[in-house]
Amino acid sequence: MTMRKPRGFTLIELLVVIAIIALLLAILMPALQRVKKQAQGVVCQNNLKQVGTAAFMYADEYEQFVPRGLAGGTGKAWFQLFMPLLSQKPINNDYRSVDIYRCPSYPDKEQTVCYVVNGWEFDNENDMTGNEILLPSKLSECTQPAYTIFLTDNEDGPWRHIVTKAADPGHNRCDVWTPGHLPSSDSEDVTNGRRVARARHRNGSNCLFLDWHVDWMDAEDITIDFWRFEK
């Protein structure tokens, strides 16, 4: 009896298999990307919930006051004040060991402060400009906490500072206090340009509200009224 040599794949068969694998990858990749983005959104929302817990504990210690804006390098930013209340700690004031302030969808992975705080004060309900508030505010001053944003996603871009340590340039620009900071703004000015992410998660941002719930908002819906303590 003669032994038959095992038959290998022909070049055409290999090309067909490669073509099928490439087709399957082309079909699956968009779905995998969507799943990845959804997972990143869930991590971001969980981070905001943990910061919300820290803010609640901070208010409990300081007679129901919460920190707001910061300008000119005076005082401390909100993320510095909440740091002692978080489970993660910085090393020598380096925040790169603190993941709670990081949104995994932020493009520049060096950024450690991926959220901006409500530092906006208004004279009355008809005031459409407002101004920056530097002093803390009492939670009882907020008339509709479930509809008032406290923290939301920080915009990325060359006009936005990358903060890795407590005193890095831009640590005092992690607040929102003018219409130019809203996602509807096209301004890229360092001081008055957009600070709220326009499309961090889908076409909007995750937001922590002053009743401490977290929700996603479409960028078009993040208007001035969601920043007013008194509505």
Give the pLDDT score at 8. 62
- The more confident residue out of 10 and 178 is 178
Q: How far apart are CA 68 and CA 76, in angstroms?
A: 10
Q: Which segments within 1-108 are labelled E, that is strand?
A: 65-66
What confidence tier does 64 reach under pLDDT thresholds 50, 70, 90?
very high
Report which of 37, 67, 89, 62 is spatially closest to residue 133, judged by C-alpha positions: 67
pLDDT at position 14 over 90: no
Give the pLDDT score at 29. 74
Give the pLDDT score at 92. 82
DSSP letter string, 153-210: EBP-STTSPP--BTTSTTTT--EE-SGGGSTT-----TTTS--B-SSSBTTEEEEEET
Give the pLDDT score at 35. 65
Q: How far apart are CA 74 and CA 90, in angstroms?
A: 21
What confidence tier does 131 reach under pLDDT thresholds 50, 70, 90?
very high
Domain ranges of the chain: 15-227
Q: What's the mean pLDDT when you consider all of the chain?
A: 89
Q: Sort 188 into a burial class: Cβ within 10 Å, 0-12 / 13-18 / 19+.
A: middle
Q: What does the block give as tokens for 27?
A: 């079909």
Structure confidence by residue, pLDDT tens digits, 94-104:
888 899 999 99
Q: How far apart are CA 127 and CA 58, in angstroms?
A: 30
Give the pLDDT score at 72. 54
DSSP code, position 52 = H
pLDDT at position 231 over 80: yes
Q: How far apart are CA 14 and CA 168, in angstroms?
A: 55
Structure confidence by residue, pLDDT tens digits, 181-211:
999 999 999 999 999 999 999 999 999 999 9
Q: How far apart are CA 65 and CA 172, in angstroms?
A: 19
Give the pLDDT score at 1. 53
Query: For the residues 175-185, what does the mean pLDDT come to?
Result: 97
Which residue(s) pair with 115 in the sheet?
Answer: 153
Q: Where are the alpha helices (DSSP H) in 62-175?
A: 78-82
Give the pLDDT score at 71. 59
- Between the CA of residue 227 and those of 4, 104, 158, 194, what are the distances in Å? 80, 25, 25, 15
231, containing H or E segment = none
Give the pLDDT score at 7. 62
- The more confident residue out of 86 and 34 is 86
What confidence tier does 39 reach under pLDDT thresholds 50, 70, 90?
confident
Structure confidence by residue, pLDDT tens digits, 154-170:
999 999 999 998 888 98
Give the pLDDT score at 105. 96
Give the pLDDT score at 198. 96
Q: In this prediction, what percent of the chain has a pLDDT beyond 70? A: 92
